[in-house]
Structure formats: C-alpha cells, structure tokens
Amino acid sequence: MKEKIRIGSGAGFSGDRIEPAVVLAANGQLDYLVLECLAERTIALAQKRKLSDPSLGYDPLLTRRIETLLPHLVKNKITLITNMGAANPLAAAKKVQEISRSLGYSIRIAAVDGDDVLTEVEEQKEHLTVLETGKKLSEYSILSANAYMGVEGILEALEQKAQIIITGRVADPSLFLAPMMFEFGWSSLDYHLLGCGTVIGHLLECAGQLTGGYFADTEKKAMPDLAHLGHPFADVFANGDAVLGKVENTGGSITLATVKEQLLYEVINPNAYLTPDVSANFTQVKLAVSGTDRIQVSGGTGNEKPSNYKVSVGYRAGFVGEGEISYAGDKALERARLAGEIIRERIKIFTQDIRVDYIGWDSVHRKNFRPDYEPYEVRLRVAAKTDSMEKAILVGEEVEALYTNGPAGGGGVRKYAQEQLGIVSVLIPRSTCIAKITLFES
C-alpha cells in the first residue's frame, strides 16, 4: 500500500484547454491524471451524435487530448482516468487504441460503461417521477438516460492494470476517489474516508477554478499570469488528508480564498453532498496554508451512500430561435425597447414564450442594480421557444428585418436557431445498472 499519491486535474469541462493538462503530465510528477469532461447536457448531446453515427458519441476533443498527452503519460507512467467516453466509452477506447498503436506504444485501455439505462427507463417511465417537476417521466419525449455511477467500474479497471480508463457517466468526484480507494485499500463502506476523498475530488474537479482562473478579479482578487493558468494537483495521504498544489512557473495561484470558493461551488447541502459512493459532509473541513500555492485540506467526512442512482434523462424540449441587434448613441435604450416591443407584436402569433433582453442594461442579472445612468449602447436580444425549427428560424428573421422595418440605427444582427435538449432527473434502484469494463490492448 502506498502512503501518498499525487492526482492531477487536467480538465474541468468538455471544452477545457489542453495545455495545462500537458504541463501537469510532463512536469507534475503525477501518479494519476484525471480529465473531467462531462456535464449533464454534454452527455445528452453526445447521445444525439451517437444516434446519427454509432462510431461517435465520445468527447469531441478526445483525439486531440490523447494524441498530445499520451507520450507524457507513457514516459512518466501516469494512469489517466477520464469520462471522455461520454455516450460511447467503447468507441472512445477503440479510438485511443488506434492512436496508441500509431504512436507505437504498448498499453492497456479500459472502457467503463453500464451507465446507459435508456431501455430500463423507457420501460419504467410510467412509474418514474421527475425530481425537478414532480411530473411522470412518460410526459417527456425521452432521448437519453444515463445513471451517475460511482467508483466501481474504475476500481475494476485499476485492478486490471489499465493505464487509460475511459468512462461514460460517472459522478465527477468518483473519478478522483477511485484511485485513492485502490491505492490505499479504502473500503467502500468506510464512509469517513470516502467523505475525505470526495471533498478532495470535489475541490479538484473543476481544474482551473481552484487555481484562480474563475476566481480572478482585477484588484482584490488579482491573480498572476492568468494567460498561462496552471491546473491543480493534490497530494493525497492514506489517512484522507491532502495538500493541494500546482506546477511551479504556471499562472494563477492556490490560496485559502480560491479553495473556499471551490469547496462551496454547486453545493446544495454541505451536510450531505450526495454522490453514488457516499453522502459527504463538508461542514468540518479545515483548510490551512502549508507553503506557496499549497493548501492543506483535512476534516472531510461522510455517511452512508444513497440507495438509488440518479439518472440524467435527456428529452426533446422543442426549439429556440434568437436574434440580436445593437443600438448606440442618443436614446439607445429607448430605441432598443421600441424594437423589442415591435418584435414581440410580430412574433406573438406563433410563440407565447418570449424573452426580450437589453444587453448592456439588465440582460445578465435579469435586473439592473445600478439603473441611474443612460447607457451609451444597448443590444436587443430576443429569444423564443417554438414547436418547430421553421418558427425558431423566423424569430431571428424578424429581428433581422428590423434593418428596414424597425427603429433607426439598428446594426450588427446575429441570429440563431436550434433544437432544445432538456435534462431532468429520476431515481432508479442501484440494481438497475452494473458497471462493466472492456479491455483493449495496443
């Protein structure tokens, strides 16, 4: 059993930058690199891509990420754990096998799936209640259903000595917790240690958010060299404590303040942060500075895991059309408002769900907390839900038509239309889905 492992966090979302992960793999002296690349909607979008081409449905950046990282992973003997498999971990693993062969490496790759429960959810939809709305799931036009799985599949892949582990929908902190359990021999019933590990995973999972990226402000929260922001790692100890850090000479910083912001990020109950592995408790977590860009984390704990799996169900939610146009100079806001009223009148014959925003005035917060000035320029934004793509396109076309049929001086029209993919959640018994691993050699 090891006493300490180092886990790096090289991506915090599907579109994240690749360079900080390369720096971690090359110079971070890592044992493990985790790339967290799946959000609720990301997997539904991936399912949609898989429907149009069964060989796709994994992370669109997978090839670029693996081609860039693999030489460092092989050279430095780092195990990669990532949910870039998205809707199709098997195809992703095959892709990695192909890349590895072309680079001449001999490695073992594991695909972890079992999270796709569309068939089971379709069968049960009359009896499943949507957590967010209380409606029956059968009222939705279901496209995908993926359960948030825990550490089980990753643990099995680690036991099989896979160096690249590619999963589908796994809870974000589980990607980090699995190597801790494997290396330190933590039991899946030791909820105290699983709570500690989940706190560490939660702190790491958004990568650059911990190192000052999404933290930075201009004065009180100024951060050095943000253009070369580094991503974090944690030195995790067998007792569940950790020290967070980052590679020297990378931008950003890890401070008590950056760690506090991340600890509370997306937490809806700090007494019970639910994952498939544990109900983690954040209320006794202690943070202490232990060096430059080094923060010690201790005091995490936890209770018994939930008895159900949470499932993200993607459904067809109609269509959305948008259009934008700008006004500047004298009475810009009033002209934008006039244009907004004209559009509302013109499109209300085919949509009742209309949102009109004045960008530069109150669009972002949906409220203006400092209304005592006249804005020099304002951008009108109209968005509306429709029941067909044709009508969604019409929304933008009506905004564009303000060029000749609306108030003076409108410019810079942009228009968009897309099908909307909604996500809701249901709970299913744990016995409904079993993690499955498939090994590939290159």
Partner 1 sequence: MKLADIAHSRAGDKGNISTLSLIPYDEKDYALFVNEVTVAKVKDHLSGIVKGEITRYEMPNISSLLFVCEEALESGVTTSLASDPHGKALSYALLEMEI
Long-range pairs for 416-420: beta carbons < 8 A, 24 or more residues apart: 416/320, 416/321, 416/322, 416/323, 417/319, 417/320, 417/321, 417/322, 417/389, 417/392, 417/393, 418/319, 418/320, 418/392, 419/316, 419/318, 419/319, 419/389, 420/316, 420/317, 420/318, 420/319, 420/320, 420/385
The least distance separating partner 1 from the CB of residue 140, rounded to whole angstroms, comes to 11
Instruction: Out of 140, 182, 215, 309, point to the residue binding partner 1 (CB under 8 A).
Output: 215
**Calculated CA dihedral for residues 261, 151, 70, 16, nearest 10 degrees:** -30
Helices marked H in 79-147 — which ranges?
89-103, 118-124
For position 1 contacting partner 1 by CB under 8 A, the verdict is no
Instruction: Out of 36, 205, 241, 357, point to the residue binding partner 1 (CB under 8 A).
Output: 357
For position 264 contacting partner 1 by CB under 8 A, the verdict is yes
The least distance separating partner 1 from the CB of residue 12, rounded to whole angstroms, comes to 13
For position 387 contacting partner 1 by CB under 8 A, the verdict is no
The least distance separating partner 1 from the CB of residue 387, rounded to whole angstroms, comes to 14
- What are 5's two structure tokens? 């492992």
Stretch that binds partner 1, among 113-121, 149-157, 376-384, 386-394 (CB under 8 A): 376-384
Residue 113 φ then ψ, to 5°: -135, -160
Q: Judged by CB, which is closer to partner 1: 359, or 389?
A: 359
For position 262 contacting partner 1 by CB under 8 A, the verdict is yes
Sites for partner 1 among residues 315-334 (CB under 8 A): 317, 320
The least distance separating partner 1 from the CB of residue 258, rounded to whole angstroms, comes to 10
The least distance separating partner 1 from the CB of residue 158, rounded to whole angstroms, comes to 29
The least distance separating partner 1 from the CB of residue 385, rounded to whole angstroms, comes to 7
Stretch that binds partner 1, among 15-23, 91-99, 167-175, 362-370 (CB under 8 A): 362-370
- What are 90's two structure tokens? 């098997």
> Quick check: 192 and 137 in contact, CB under 8 A?
no
Instruction: Out of 311, 378, 417, 423, point to the residue binding partner 1 (CB under 8 A).
Output: 423
Stretch that binds partner 1, among 8-16, 148-156, 167-175, 265-273 (CB under 8 A): 265-273
Residue 401: CB atoms within 10 A of its CB come to: 16
x/- string (CB under 8 A) for partner 1, residues 34-53?
Answer: ------xx--x---------
Considering only CA atoms, give the Rg of the chain: 24
- Whole-angstrom distance, CA of residue 203 vs CA of residue 35: 14
Q: What DSSP letter does each residue of 76-92 carry, written as one string?
A: TTPEEEE-TTTT-HHHH
For position 272 contacting partner 1 by CB under 8 A, the verdict is no
Q: What share of the chain is helix, strand, coil (3-state, %, to 5)?
A: 35, 30, 35
Q: Judged by CB, which is closer to partner 1: 35, or 382?
A: 382
Q: E-strand spans in 292-395?
A: 294-298, 301-303, 308-328, 353-359, 377-386
Sites for partner 1 among residues 120-139 (CB under 8 A): 131-132
Q: Judged by CB, which is closer to partner 1: 88, or 351?
A: 351
For position 288 contacting partner 1 by CB under 8 A, the verdict is no
Instruction: Out of 13, 214, 237, 416, point to the residue binding partner 1 (CB under 8 A).
Output: 214
Q: 129: burial class by Cβ within 10 Å (0-12, 13-18, 19+)?
A: exposed
x/- string (CB under 8 A) for partner 1, residues 217-236?
Answer: x--xx---------------
Q: Judged by CB, which is closer to partner 1: 51, or 439?
A: 51
User: Residue 161, by phi and psi: left (phi above 0), alpha (psi -120 to 50) or beta?
Assistant: left
The least distance separating partner 1 from the CB of residue 297, rounded to whole angstroms, comes to 11
H or E stretch at 400: helix 389-400
Size of the site for partner 1 (CB under 8 A): 53
Half-sphere exposure of 321 (CA within 13 A, CB side): 22
Which residues would be at the binding site for partner 1 (CB under 8 A)? 40-41, 44, 131-132, 209, 214-215, 217, 220-221, 257, 260-271, 282-287, 299, 317, 320, 353, 355, 357, 359, 363-367, 369-370, 381, 383-385, 420-423, 425
